Amino acid sequence: MDVVETLLKRDGIDVDFTDDDGRTLMSWIVSFNSSREVVGGFRDLAERRIAGLLYQKSNSLLNHPDRDGRTPLSWAAEQGDPAVVEWLLDQPGIELNSKCKLGRTPLFWALSNPLPFGSLSDHRVRYLLETPGIEKHSWDNEGRTLLSWAAGSAQEQAADYLLADENIDVNVADNDGWTPLAWATMKGNERIVEQLLASKHRVDVNLADKNGRTPLYWAVQKKHYRIVDMLLSRDLVTLCSAARKGDLATVKSLAYAGYDVKRTNLLNQTPLHSAILSGNYEIAEFLLSRTTAINGGDNEGMTPLRSAIQQRRVGLVELLLKHSAETKEIKLYEWFEAYNLTGSFYVCLTENGGEKTLSVARVNEIASSNEAMQGPRNRSSEKRFFLFKNSLPWQKGLIRDSIEILQPNKLHLSESVCAGDGKHLVLSAAILLFPWHPDQELGGLLIPDKEECRITWTIRRGADARSEPVWVPLDFFSTLQNSGIPEDGAELFTQFLDDLERRWLGVCDLAEEHLSNCRLRQLKHKGSNLTLIDCLAVDARQWAEFRKILRGHAQDARSFAQKYCQRYNGGRGFERIQESIDRIEKQVNERIHNLDQTVRDLLQLIKFAWISITEVRKSTSVATSMKRLSWITFIFLPAMFASSLFGMNVNLLSNNPDWRWYILVAGVVLTLTVVGWLIFKSMGPRKER
């Protein structure tokens, strides 16, 4: 250094030369940090004096960039002595925020230096941050911000300084999707992670990089367990993401670390949802071994079981059923679609001790009537729920009850003793609603044919713990869409009533659409469609018939439910059935009342329109007649005047003039009449103006 200093003090020394990389002597001098070496027992800062001499000889060297666009301040910030950085910052004209080809300012290069273990700050960084005019909100070509570099380099004091800025965005991701938190996590900078999480800014721990990896994922992979503990309670997506990708090792690591496997992500999906959606059996099985909360739905109401059914993942369906997944929300058609079944098959759900199983077979292969009704003799808590797409088993006699042919719109309810030991009862409910085929020439409401709705269940006489006789439900047979295994016959009958309610409301919807079409037809015919009155009269009779049918359904259902619940179900379930019946009566009666009111309104409209049209036609006819009479009077009055003039005893006409004079006089009088009419007609508009 002494030799360099001696040479620079001579006159004529050229200091503006550059090397092959475009670097000047100033660039090299300021990047040399002699404080890293011990020379003669003390630290030498000769580079600061040499830089001063270079600046005196050529001040253009202060901001001279090399081929990479880096200035002396950039090199000093990265590699130089803090005192040299401080000296450069004090020089007038120094460019503080010049960017190199990588888009990095001197502050970026200062923050790129990882601090040695145990160090808290870098003086070069502190000098730059405290200099007025330093840009703190820029980013380099890789998309990294100053906070990102500080987080990755363990620059704790710099991170504190940057986080104190009200306008800083702590969630800015670089080109690879890495946020400052991700950099700190991957590098294992625990203190930086604590600073970010404790800051007043809302740090989003769920932001993933381009590969879908979150900060918690990197903490697990790098085995930074303290950071894992910090992020565990805040993370919502990492376990779901790992389950979706089939990363069983990460799933297990997170679960063993204490991650709540019931926690939902932003879509309200649990990790089990993700495993089901990705079709990963092993991960689903592992998650099911650690939680019983498996029936929750996401934002779209999709449960894990429904997701597995819709994706036709039969293995996962059976796994979920084995762990007591709830089937109540699954519709009949979903089972048939999942297993690609036609109406000649049935689905049987069996529940025993909370565990469910599913079997599929042809309807013709169902066990003999008695065996199907009574079930295995040795079972205790087992229940079977047979789901049929249509009423074919009843029609073929495979399921026997005392109901013969279904009559339309009648609620069929039956109770019979099953053949065999006499300890089994068969109870059934069925209805064919409607169909309704009125006289189509009048345009009445048409209700298309509907499938029969049937349920049957069997009960067996047994004894409870006190040896008192009780009736135990065994098997349930149904064509309903609901597939939740009933607790007893009362619950199955409630499901039947719910379906009946749906059918009634569907009929009311058809009726409302029919009346809406009637109104449109009336408007289309401009009120002249008088046959609509006959159609509405037919509709009014239909509504009265609807009320009668509904009243019969309610009475029969109440009577049957009361008898069954009191005699065979220990009084349980009747209140729930009563509520369903009351709800059906209330809703359907209100809809029928609205239909009645609509018919009355349409009849009033038609009556008013018919009267109005009749009166208008009469008025138009009278006006036309008066107009014709006026023209007749207008033409014949002049002629009559001329005729009477010639017939009077006037001296002027005593010589009995020729008849042609009559035509001439009549023409003159008519002309004068027309002229007078035109004059009076034109006087009206003039007076108005």
pLDDT digits (tens, 9 = 90+) for 519-535: 887 777 765 666 777 78
Residues 483 and 628 in one domain: no
Tell me the β-bridge partners of 350.
357, 384
Q: How confident is the model at residue 552 (pLDDT cuts 50, 70, 90)?
A: very high
Residues 449 and 506 in one domain: yes
Residue 240 lies in a domain: no
Tell the burial category of 441 from Cβ atoms under 10 Å away from its Cβ (0-12, 13-18, 19+).
exposed
128-132: average pLDDT: 90
Residue 97 lies in a domain: no
Residue 195 lies in a domain: no
Residues 610 and 654 in one domain: no
Q: If residue 30 lies in a helix (H) or strand (E), which one and from where to where?
A: helix 25-31
Q: What's the chain's average pLDDT?
A: 83
Residues 651 and 679 in one domain: yes
Residue 639 lies in a domain: yes
Residues 608 and 644 in one domain: no
3-class secondary-structure state, position 527: coil
Residues 517 and 545 in one domain: yes
Residues 427 and 546 in one domain: yes
219-233: average pLDDT: 93
Q: Of 577, 596, 622, which residue constitutes the final position of a domain?
A: 622
- Identify which of 355, 265, 356, 351 has the alpha carbon closest to the alpha carbon of residue 275: 265
Residue 417 lies in a domain: yes
Which one of 17-21, 125-129, 308-312 scores highest in mean pLDDT? 308-312
Residues 550 and 614 in one domain: yes
What value, to the nearest 5°, has the Cα angle with vertex 265 and ends 263 and 271?
60
Residues 404 and 466 in one domain: yes
- Does pLDDT of 476 surpass 60? yes
Q: How confident is the model at residue 370 (pLDDT cuts 50, 70, 90)?
A: very low
Rounded-to-integer distance, Cα 125 and Cα 286, Å: 49
Q: What would the pLDDT profile of 23-71 be if each residue is shown by its tens digit? A: 887 777 788 775 544 333 334 455 556 666 555 555 567 888 999 999 9
Q: How confident is the model at residue 602 (pLDDT cuts 50, 70, 90)?
A: confident
Residues 444 and 518 in one domain: yes
Residues 6+ apart with CB under 8 A from 320: 276, 284, 288, 294, 304, 305, 308
DSSP single-letter state for residue 488: S
What value, to the nearest 5°, has the Cα angle with vertex 70 and ends 64 and 74?
100
Q: Of 594, 622, 650, which residue constitutes the final position of a domain?
A: 622
Residue 489 belongs to domain spanning: 392-622
Could you give the number of structural domains in the chain? 2
Rounded-to-integer distance, Cα 119 and Cα 156, Å: 9
Residues 583 and 643 in one domain: no
Q: Of 565, 598, 622, which residue constitutes the final position of a domain?
A: 622
Rounded-to-integer distance, Cα 467 and Cα 465, Å: 5
Token pair, residue 436, equals 């309704």
Residues 488 and 556 in one domain: yes
Residue 565 lies in a domain: yes
Strands (E), 137-206: none
Coarse DSSP helix, strand, coil percentages of the chain, rounded to the nearest 5 percent: 55, 10, 35
- Does pLDDT of 355 surpass 80? yes
Residue 547 lies in a domain: yes
Q: What would the pLDDT profile of 282-327 be if each residue is shown by its tens digit? A: 999 999 999 888 999 999 999 999 999 999 999 999 999 999 999 9
243-255: average pLDDT: 93
CA-CA distances (angstroms) from residue 190 to 1, 91, 161, 193, 519? 41, 38, 17, 5, 74
3-class secondary-structure state, position 145: strand
Residue 613 lies in a domain: yes
Order of strands across the sheet with 453-463?
Answer: 355-362, 345-352, 383-388, 469-478, 453-463, 424-431, 412-417
357-361: average pLDDT: 93
